[in-house]
Structure 1
């Protein structure tokens, strides 16, 4: 048995490859370095879904208009849920199916619903989508109530591209299991979103900011981090189950954050604090755990980038879903087309057969 299914091959895919030893991520035959910060989100989605980028961009724009109507169902009970649970409840309203229209609606929904829920929690009205805009620009426009700066769009675009797919992670595996039953794409995406909300998967970027807030000043980094490690605490934003070297997504997001900072959207003192914490944490981790490769992961710079875009930290997992949903849909469709019903075996470790109860 392999606990956690480490090293178990459960599917063949043409969508992404994670090379943990070399620190390399391939998405549909393209290196992450050639995609993040270089192309639009819809162009990467088109690679995963094997379709024309311009046609897909138009289809997702139209889908944003369709799913926007579901925000009228938001009530007090839904707003009292956590952002990701509210997102899941709204997405459960979408019709299930395996067709392109269902796929486009599922890709559009997290951006529309996250923006709308964010505004409703602020006492503001949701902003209708503009299907003439790119998906990323429209997500920020629906959130801000105004057109974002090009640097802001570029930063979020780099993030969505960076997280769009990442091998057979927990949420993507959940999507493929449900898809293998032919339950439909919506059911598969809802299963994936439920997996993503777990703190061991998609819920870590927010706590990175909590850590930075607790440290407060660069001069406090050494003492705070030493104490945390001494108490056996996990340093958020460091280490990864797969990567044995630096997470390539961290470098892509650090580059995107640098461009955002150069445009004046990142407070210099916040960036200085983050860089000091990163350098100190890497040094202390190497000293304390020399046999374990614990490098900066995607969560560290995700937190800083999304914070700099003025997105609420409680909604970070929803923004993650807005990027990863493209991968979920692609994997679900690939499973339907090429895979079988997933039915692994388990090893029974309970009691042996005993006499019937009452005898």
Structure 2
């Protein structure tokens, strides 16, 4: 079947999508979006249950202690052209980290979880360093700040200033919503890679390389470009009508899995509205609302998780080409959960292909060809 649509490739207890309802380890995304922090989600995905107070404190401490990057990573980032692709930089940096981990080929449960913490902590620091170094700014030293969450840490490392509580909370909720989504393309790539008993870093590199493709990642960047291209509320109707007349895709709408709308979209819409009020700038939010209304009326399509995340990240003043990297920071928690699960009961993933080529072709000597 094309794209392996509806093909069950493995069993997993991490995430389910049934009847358009998304659940992490049995917990509804509605319950988690309204109550959980990203660190609680990380623990839930990796260990199968929510942490108690002491376990959560320990995880936060481990993440903070392991977020310090090897100095060679900064040297590597200085080698890149400032305009180079940010996802490619992230992919190479994650691969480079392999050389600084003496447990890289230790596949024991304990070592796998220690490596998971190191990767989860450092990916956020790498993304912040990518942006600062390409702007000619020095990376922020972690010892100079005391963040209370991974989301706050990222914004602090990115800007050099302690973020407003509303900004840190908004990004934390985004991380919760993007953390896991069953056997999507990047998750499948990670599981295939580590099923060969390759190392965890290789699995994450495979996932990042897969997410880099515009058919999987990048949609929220394209939504932001659309919002900028439209610019004003008065242009929305004409723009959408032209897109529909030309048979062009309107980014941020529809979903291959959700037939009745993406359950995550309403929380991002609410965040966009809250941040619009905080910034005293309702333009991006109101543009998004009007686009949503017209597309639903004319195409019957509802927004997916990418649509309102574009305006949320814009209000958070995150550079547009880092939008997909925000997704990667969050989804690393889910990728790692699947890698850990794959290693628990591993069998190499080796599907078959249905042959569609010629049969019984006879050899011809070179003089006859």
Same-fold status (TM-score > 0.5): yes
Tell me which of the two structures has the higher relative contact order, counting C-alpha pairs closer than 8 angstroms and 6 or more residues apart: 1
Alignment match, 1:261: 276
Query: C-alpha distance in 1, partners of 2:85/2:236?
Result: 31
Query: C-alpha distance in 2, partners of 1:227/1:282?
Result: 15
2:77 matched to 1:74? Answer: yes
- Equivalent positions of 1:1-359 (< 5 A) are 2-19=1-18, 21=19, 23-50=20-47, 52-66=55-69, 70-77=73-80, 79-95=82-98, 96-97=104-105, 98=107, 99=111, 100-129=113-142, 130=145, 133-262=148-277, 264-265=278-279, 267-286=281-300, 294-358=301-365
Q: How many residues align?
A: 348
C-alpha contact 1:116 1:142 (8 A) present in aligned 2? yes
Please give the root-mean-square deviation of Cα atoms over the aligned residues, in Å: 1.7
C-alpha contact 1:79 1:121 (8 A) present in aligned 2? yes
Alignment match, 1:289: none
* Counterparts in 2 of 1:72 and 1:131: CA distance versus 1, 3 Å: farther
TM-score by length of 2: 0.90
C-alpha contact 2:151 2:172 (8 A) present in aligned 1? yes
C-alpha contact 1:218 1:277 (8 A) present in aligned 2? no
Query: C-alpha distance in 2, partners of 1:68/1:139?
Result: 18
Query: C-alpha distance in 2, partners of 1:67/1:9?
Result: 40
Query: C-alpha distance in 1, partners of 2:83/2:220?
Result: 22
In the TM superposition, residue 265 of structure 1 has moved relative to its aligned partner by 2.5
In the TM superposition, residue 268 of structure 1 has moved relative to its aligned partner by 1.4
After superposition, what is the alpha-carbon deviation per residue over 1:323-346, rounded to whole angstroms, capped at 9, x for unaligned? Answer: 000000000110111241111111
Range with greater deviation from structure 2 (183-192 or 3-12):
3-12
Alignment match, 2:101: none
In the TM superposition, residue 124 of structure 1 has moved relative to its aligned partner by 1.0
Query: C-alpha distance in 2, partners of 1:266/1:351?
Result: 64
In the TM superposition, residue 58 of structure 1 has moved relative to its aligned partner by 1.4
C-alpha contact 2:190 2:207 (8 A) present in aligned 1? yes
Unaligned runs of 5+ residues in structure 1 are 287-293
* Counterparts in 2 of 1:68 and 1:333: CA distance versus 1, 3 Å: farther
- Matched residue SS, 2:340: helix
- Matched residue SS, 1:344: coil
In the TM superposition, residue 195 of structure 1 has moved relative to its aligned partner by 0.6
- Matched residue SS, 1:233: coil
In the TM superposition, residue 66 of structure 1 has moved relative to its aligned partner by 4.1
In the TM superposition, residue 261 of structure 1 has moved relative to its aligned partner by 2.8
Query: C-alpha distance in 1, partners of 2:161/2:3?
Result: 45
C-alpha contact 1:110 1:319 (8 A) present in aligned 2? no
Unaligned runs of 5+ residues in structure 2 are 99-103
Query: C-alpha distance in 2, partners of 1:55/1:267?
Result: 39
In the TM superposition, residue 67 of structure 1 has moved relative to its aligned partner by 5.0
Query: C-alpha distance in 2, partners of 1:28/1:70?
Result: 35
After superposition, what is the alpha-carbon deviation per residue over 1:174-194, rounded to whole angstroms, capped at 9, x for unaligned? Answer: 111111111011111110111
* Counterparts in 2 of 1:297 and 1:13: CA distance versus 1, 3 Å: same
